[in-house]
Amino acid sequence: SQQGEEDPQALSIQEGENATMNCSYKTSINNLQWYRQNSGRGLVHLILIRSNEREKHSGRLRVTLDTSKKSSSLLITASRAADTASYFCATDGFFGAQKLVFGQGTRLTINP
């Protein structure tokens, strides 16, 4: 069973706009990670947020975590064509610290 669920499943925006993706999970977690997957490629780690953190930034990425609502959001500001990819949240806690459980992902398309 999937621990994380992303919303929306697909998102299409114009270049330069901001993109927001949401992730909800079911059980208590210690950490939550976001990964990016370009078409046909492996996953690339974007950012990790720990359960005692509420917000974290990395370049144009902003991640929030609300453990009371069991949800997280990923904001990409000033989107670029190169941001076109699928984005996945992954949580621990269900099987253990390293054994990540992934959501189904959000497919993001940036239109030029």
Partner 1 sequence: NAGVTQTPKFQVLKTGQSMTLQCAQDMNHEYMSWYRQDPGMGLRLIHYSVGAGITDQGEVPNGYNVSRSTTEDFPLRLLSAAPSQTSVYFCASSLLTREQETQYFGPGTRLLVL
The binding site for partner 1 (CB under 8 A) comprises: 1-2, 4, 30-31, 33, 35, 40-45, 48, 50, 88, 90, 92, 95, 97-105
Residue 35 or 74: which CB sits closer to partner 1?
35
Cβ–Cβ < 8 Å for 84, 14: no
CA angle 77, 17, 76 (to 5 degrees): 25
Cβ distance to partner 1 smaller for residue 8 or 16: 8
Neighbouring residues of 112: CB distance < 8 A, sequence distance ≥ 6: 15, 81
Q: Which is nearer to partner 1, 79 or 107 (CB)?
A: 107
Cβ 86 to partner 1 shortest distance, Å: 9
For the bound state, the minimum distance from the C-beta of residue 25 to partner 1, rounded and expressed in Å, comes to 12
Q: Are strands 10-14 and 71-76 parallel, antiparallel or unpaired?
A: unpaired
